[in-house]
Amino acid sequence: MKTISDKTKKYGIEMDNLDLSINPKEDFYMYACGGWKKAHPLKGEFARFGTFDLLRENAREQLKDLIMNLSDNPESKKRGSIAQKVSDIYNMAMDAERINSLGAKPILPMIEKVEKSKPEEFTDIISWMHNGIASPFFGTGVGTDAKCSDMNVMHIGEVGLGLGDRDYYLEKNERNDEILKAYEIYVKRILELTGFPEEDRERIWKTLIRVETEFARHKMTREERRNPLLRYNMMSIEEIREKYPNIEWDRYFKGIGINEIDKANIVSTGFMTFLNDYLPTLSEREIKDLLILDIIESAGDSIGDEYYKASFEFSKVMSGVEEMEPRWKRAMGVANSMFGEAVGKLYVEKYFPEENKRYMLNLVENLRKALGKHIDNLSWMSEATKEKAREKLATFTVKIGYPDKWKDYSEIDVDPALSFQENLLRASRWYAKDNYSKLNKPVDKEEWHMYPQTVNAYYNPTSNEICFPAGILQAPYFDVNADDALNYGGIGVVIGHEMTHGFDDSGRRFDKNGNLNEWWHEEDEKKFNELADKLVAQFDAVEVAPGVKANGRFTLGENIADQGGLRIAMTAYLDSRGNEQAEDIDELSPLQRFYLSYANVWADNIREAEILDRTQSDPHSLGRNRVNVTLRNLEPFFEAFGIKAGDKMYRPEEERVIIW
C-alpha cells in the first residue's frame, strides 16, 4: 500500500486493481477493475465473485475461527448456553456420516402425516406446515403496517416458485427449456432419494409444473412488486372471508396460534382471487403431492449429501457454478442463520473496534448534510415538497455496526441426541412462532433486519432507518487508515446509496414517520417520473449478453440510489476537506481516487448463465453497468479523467440524467 507521507500514513488506491493498458475514457470499469479481475479468477464454486464476495469470504473465515474455537470454551459444555447451541449445531451440520445414514428418515413422519390426512383436514395441514416447515399455496407473516408504521399487522402474500421468477415458466425460449428440464431432473431425483417409485415421481412432477405455471401466470410482475401502493390492500377479516371463501381463514389462523385477528394486508389481491378459485379444482392427490414435495425441498441437504448434489446439479444449469460449496461453509451458514445475532456479538467483539463506529457516525452525518444540500438545490422539486424531504432526511435513524439490544435465543433448544433435521425444524418453528407473536404489537424500532457480520447494508422505509452492519465496514469499502477519498468513494457512496433509497421510486412513497403516504406535490412526481424514465432508458439500452438487454425499470430503484450515492458522497467528501488541498497519491488526484474506489466496490467476474439469471431476478444492475452507465451522467467524473466528446465514456449533457 502506498502512503501520502510518513506524517499522515493514509494509503491510496491499490494500484494492482487497475489495468493500465485500458483507456479510462473508453471503458472505465475495465481500467479500474481489470487488474482485480485478473487476480481473482472465478473458482468453480462461484457463479459470480466480486469485492462483495471477497468480503463475505473473509467474514466466513473469521466466523469459522470463532465457531470452531467455541468447543474449547467451557460454556460449550453447559446445556442451553449459546456456546453449546452454536457449537453443537455446527458440529451436527459437519457430521456427514450421521446425516447420510439417516437420510430421509427424519421427514418420513411428516410425509406420513400428509398422506393420512383427510380432505376436511386440508386447512389444518396447511397451518401446521406454515408453522416453520414450508409455505404452500400462500405465505403469511407479521410485519409493519405500511400506513401505520408503529404497529405490526398480518400480511398474506403470494406463494414462492421453485424457479424463483415467473418468466421461467411463461417465456418460451431455448434457455428456459434447458432450465425447466434441469428442474424436472432435480425434482424427480429428490423424490427418488426419498423412496418414491418412478410412477409417483412422474405424476408429482406433472402436477408441480402445471400448478406452478398457473401460479406464475397470476403472480405480480417483478416491476409491480416494486410498487408499495400495489402491495398494500388492508382488509377486515370479514372482507377476507367474503372475497376468498375457499380458504377456512378462522381455522387457518387458529392453527398457526393466532386466536384474535381483525384485519390483514393482502399483498397481491389478483393472486389471492386466482388462488381462491383454483384451489377447489385440485384433487386430493394433487394437493398431497404438492405438500409432500414442499416438505422434501424444505429439508434440503439436512437429510443427506445426495440431496445437496441434486440441488447443485440444478444450480449448474441456473447459474453456471462448477463446484459444490465445501461442507464447512454450508455448516457455517446454518449456525449463522439460526443464531445470527449471538454469532454477531462474538464477531463484533473481536473484529469491530469502537474507533470504526465513531468514524462511521461522523461519515453518516457528513452524508446527511450533503443530501440536504442536494435537496435544497433541486431544480425540479417544489419548495413545499423540499421541506417535507428535509424533514424526512432529518428523522433518518442510523444503525452502525451492531444492535444495542441482542436477540434472545434461550427458547431454541439444540439437542445432539436428535437428528440434524429435527433440530433445524425446532428452530424454524421457534422463528415462525416468534414472528406470529408480534401481531398487533408495537414495532420494535431497535430490532435489526441484518446480522452484524453481514456484508451488506439496507434502508427500511417503514422505520425510515439506514443500517450498516460491521461486516461491510471493512477494506476496501472502509478503513480508518485509508485516504478519505477512498472511504468516501467506497463506504461513503454505500451510505449515500441507502439514504437515496428513501427517495427512490419506491422509498419516496413513505413519509418521515415511515408511513405509506403520497406526500409529494403532483407536479414534482411528474417531473421525477420523467427523469426516472430517462434513466430507465439508459439501462434498457445496454446489452448484457448476446441478444439480452438490461431491465432498467426493474433496476430503477438501485440505479437511482447508485447515482444519488455518488453525488452525495462527492459533496460530503469535498465539504469534509474544507479549504485543505488533498495531495495526489501514485499520480492520482483525490477525485480520481474517489471514482476508482467506487468502481472497485463493483469489481467482479461472473458467468454468462449468472448474468442471465440476475438480469431476470435481481433488482440490482450488473457491476459493470453500475459503474459505466451511472458514471456517464456525472460531470465531475468527466473532469477528473479528462473525458470529452468522442470518448466512449462521454455522454452529451442533454442526454444526462441527474435526479438527486
Neighbours of 377 (CB within 10 A): 10
Nearest to 454 by CA among 428, 430, 438, 477: 477
Grid cell at residue 413: 433448544
Instruction: Write the CB contacts of 325 (distance below 8 Å, at least 6 apart in sequence).
Output: 45
Q: Which residues contact 230 (CB under 8 A, 6 or more apart)?
A: 220, 224
DSSP 266-284: ES-HHHHHHHHHHGGGS-H
Q: Which residues of the chain have pLDDT under 70?
A: 1-9
Quick one: pLDDT at residue 1? 37
List the chain domain ranges: 23-63+339-405+446-655, 104-303
Angle at 245 between CA 125 and CA 147, to 5 degrees: 95
The domain made up of 23-63+339-405+446-655 has a fold known as Collagenase (Catalytic Domain) (3.40.390)
Q: Rounded to whole angstroms, what are the CA distances from 404 to 229, 341, 375, 445, 473?
A: 33, 11, 31, 11, 17
pLDDT given at position 494: 92
Q: Do residues 311 and 138 touch, judged by C-beta distance below 8 A? A: no
At 492, the amino acid letter reads G
Report CA dihedral (556, 558, 560, 563) to the nearest 10 degrees: -140
- 3-state SS of 290-359 is HHHHHHHHHHHHHHCHHHHHHHHHHHHHHHCCCCCCCHHHHHHHHHHHHCHHHHHHHHHHHHCCHHHHHH
Query: What pLDDT is recorded for position 567?
Result: 97
Q: What is the C-alpha to C-alpha distance for residues 459 and 477, in angstroms, rounded to an integer?
A: 18
Q: What is the pTM of this model?
A: 0.90
pLDDT of residue 9: 53
499: which 3 cell numbers? Answer: 439514504
| CA distances for 465 relative to 390, 474, 478, 565, 613, angstroms | 15, 21, 20, 16, 30
Give the position of cell 445470527. Answer: 340
Give yes or no for a contact between 293 and 208, defined as CB atoms under 8 angstroms apart: yes
CB of 173 within 8 A of CB of 152? no
- pLDDT tens digits for 260-284? 999 999 999 999 999 999 999 999 9
With helix as H, strand as E and coil as C, how does 175-242 read? HHHHHHHHHHHHHHHHHHHCCCCHHHHHHHHHHHHHHHHHHHHHCCCHHHHCCCCCCCCEEEHHHHHH
Peptide bond preceding 476 in cis form (omega within 30 of 0): yes
At the top level of CATH, which class does the domain 104-303 belong to?
A: mainly alpha
Q: How many CB atoms lie within 10 A of CB 119?
A: 9
Name the one residue in this structure whose C-alpha cell is 414472528.
435
